[in-house]
Amino acid sequence: MTLRRLGNSGLQVSVVGLGCNNFGGRTDFEGTKKVVHKAIDLGITLFDTADIYGESGGSEEFLGRILGERRKDIVLATKFGMEFGKSGVKVGAARRYITMAVEDSLRRLQTDWIDLYQLHQPDPKTPIEETLRALDDLVRQGKVRYIGCSNLPAWEVVEAQWTSRHHNLESFVSCQDEYSLVQRGIVEKDLQAAMQKYGMGLLPFFPLASGLLTGKYKRDSAAPAGTRFATTQRLADRYGTPANWAIVEALEAFCKKRGHSLLELAFSWLLARPCVASVIAGATRPEQLEHNVKAAGWTLSAEDLAEIDRITLSKT
């Protein structure tokens, strides 16, 4: 497994990461255990979870129970900031909540430190300086090694980096945002330039567009049982648009001509993009991990990348 530096930080992550949002929800404890150990055996080091995953804490709890001595072999990333539970109180990025949220995550994860602690979403009610000062304290205390952000607009990322530099505080080393062959706009319009300016790494989530980029769905055909499109209509509606189907079908022809799969293209294209350190993909079965790791091995030529741009940008 190839490792990459996360932005300009000292953190090294595997180019294929494991998204842990299924754990404690779609995947039970025994299933999670199989996936976790298989991931480590394959050389996957980046495990990305959040306090809300697994119906409020389930994902972190499963990881804490399973990792044991293998905790030291991985880069453990989690997030805070989205509403935890339904109280309406456990949410946001204020100092008071951060200090409570990190202790809860550490307890559930059964660890003394979090490698990458990420703000999950913007908090318009809290000044970014307050958030960064609280996170800076956690780094100084040794509870957190590095900090990152997720779902922040480019202007807020820039504001956060300026605030960190101006006040000599720990700064975000990464952004985690949706990015894929059918979802390019948000990252490429503004965020990519900001990340390059400040030496930040990108951790794309939903790289397969809820399975659209695996090749398992076909236009005007019923989705296979148990898949996200079959069980969650809003995802089928969001990704199964006429424009996206046109892109997928053109990309499938592109891959077939070169002897590769759409899954391979989805991973390898992302790893050829600026700032990308690791591609985060979930898995509910160990064999999915094997496919994901293998998929990252296609080296795309400049001509390939130009053709992909023509296909994906001309149809959006």
Residues acting as catalytic residues = 53
Q: Are the C-beta atoms of residues 165 and 171 closer than 8 Å to each other?
A: yes
Q: How far apart are CA 220 and CA 50, in angstroms?
A: 35
Q: How far apart are CA 99 and CA 143, in angstroms?
A: 11
What sign has the CA pseudo-torsion 209, 215, 219, 222?
Answer: negative
DSSP reduced 3-state for 144: strand
Output the DSSP codes for 203-248. Answer: EEE-TTGGGGGGT---TTSPPPTTSHHHH-HHHHHHH--HHHHHHH
What type of residue sits at position 116? L
Enter the DSSP assignment of 83.
Answer: P
Q: How many Cα atoms sit within 13 Å of 280 on the Cβ side?
A: 25
Q: Are the C-beta atoms of residues 123 and 92 closer than 8 Å to each other?
A: yes
Enter the DSSP assignment of 81.
Answer: -
